[in-house]
Structure 1
């Protein structure tokens, strides 16, 4: 099986859980040293590939190399993602665009690269989405747009590939204790706004139980998987949420007033830093494009997963 965004966070923990159940795991992401460390700790057979999920050629190469090394691919988890916060009008256009590129386009490129082998093996594609797909919130325009997009894309894809025996699932997570969420919480305004959300959406949840729920959903190749129990109930009221959030959100925006302009608008967390660093290296011409037996070396990519 393949997990993108596997160097840390939900991706790292998911790889560990699945390896302990006997799965052969291919880890894809940035931070090659961390990927190597994660791979080395797994109890079963594994390998790691350094690649940018938004680079079609790189991901197609990874798909070929994973199949050549392990013989088959039955499951792909499109987990890679980055996030940015802040007012849309004041946001960094490059960071805003990068969230869409990684979370939405990168997920589609991942699926496109692996669909031939998934079709051959009647496999399963799990797209990691978010509460952000169900409840679009202020100061999260890029992330909410991206997660709404991947949810809709995965639902559309399910009907297309079902006749070939490929199952497609969507997993939803609320605020989960990952580097991404911790990175966002370093901003006082974002942290306070999140704490003012209604229960239970104002809590940060440990990743272990959420990953266990995802693994259970993968075992039955579920169409929908919920990392926290209460997210299932959100489906029934999601039609009402944009209107409610619009009214309540305006009140909170007035409450925080000028402080909103102080919110950092770049990518958050260690995964965001890795993405920015890798793209900077690529721009500077310091990153090559050769591949080894277990690592591709296309610059860019993502790590982590939270809300």
Structure 2
């Protein structure tokens, strides 16, 4: 399909209601600002009320903040109801909220591992479930944010990779289930983008250097606008897949060959995994498993703060 035809598929979002989770920072905040500039009404859902209010202020009068933990059914249902009360409905949902905790399976803090799964996978399911009736009513669009990690399963990222692979599978099932209702479903696979999450991960004394050692484009960090451009265009066109950058899509064609390649790479790089495993144990001995495994960035810190029990 030619470039002209692809651009022609873009739809106006003027007057549309777009609900975005994880909207305090990163992809969520950036997309909210871009769509507000296009005349959309943006509902910002997240855990950091002060940051959300700052984003809303930049978005203008057609932006509203709804503090909610995506793992909390009641909070999400309340937020969704609040969006409908404020704006009259929901046209587009961007299930973006996510955290990342680095660590090897045998030594990572169990709470960090399970919180990553709960936010990144179950948070997407809960977000979609509570908003889907409104999206169906408006024959809208849902975009869930997966990751390159769903395709390339790197050591030290078991929780994140498992959750993001689950998100991809969830979106693929959902797409087939709701197509006859006029709803379109997309899944995005960004590689390493210089967000708060990735920058925080790079500061880890063990897993930052391990990631930096990944070869070629697999270890490259891309500037944030690259992701914003691709995600914005994907939402405007209601794409079924968004790859950031485009070469990520090519990896899907050979994904069955990637696990042994990654294993071999670890052995060839001076037994890098064994060294990192030893370093991880030493880091845990020095700082404790909870600190060493803590989800990275301000968003990860917010997700791990004590709160009421999620249903």
Does the TM-score normalized on the shorter chain lie above 0.5? yes
**Alignment partner of 1:106: what SS?**
helix
Q: Offset at 1:254? A: 2.4
Q: Is the 8 A contact 1:23 1:44 kept in 2?
A: no
| Structure 1 residues 229-287: Cα deviation after superposition (integer angstroms, max 9, x where no partner) | 2212111111111121123235321243521322621211111111122xx2447xxxx
Other-structure match for 1:74:
91
Change (3 A) 1:28 1:248: same
> Which 5+ residue runs of structure 1 have no aligned equivalent?
284-298, 301-307
Q: Does 1:272 align with 2:297?
A: no
Q: Does 1:144 align with 2:161?
A: yes
Paired with 1:220 and 1:175, the residues of 2 have a C-alpha distance of 23
Other-structure match for 1:303:
none
| 1:172 paired residue among 189, 192, 200 | 189
Q: Is the 8 A contact 2:121 2:163 kept in 1?
A: yes
User: TM-score, with normalisation over the residues of structure 1?
Assistant: 0.89
| 1:108 paired residue among 125, 140, 146 | 125
Q: Is the 8 A contact 1:22 1:44 kept in 2?
A: no
Moved more, 23-32 or 258-267: 258-267
Change (3 A) 1:43 1:227: farther
> Which 5+ residue runs of structure 2 have no aligned equivalent?
1-17, 285-291
Other-structure match for 1:191:
208
Q: Offset at 1:72? A: 2.0
Paired with 1:257 and 1:171, the residues of 2 have a C-alpha distance of 31
**Alignment partner of 2:144: what SS?**
strand
Aligned length: 283
Q: Is the 8 A contact 2:43 2:66 kept in 1?
A: yes
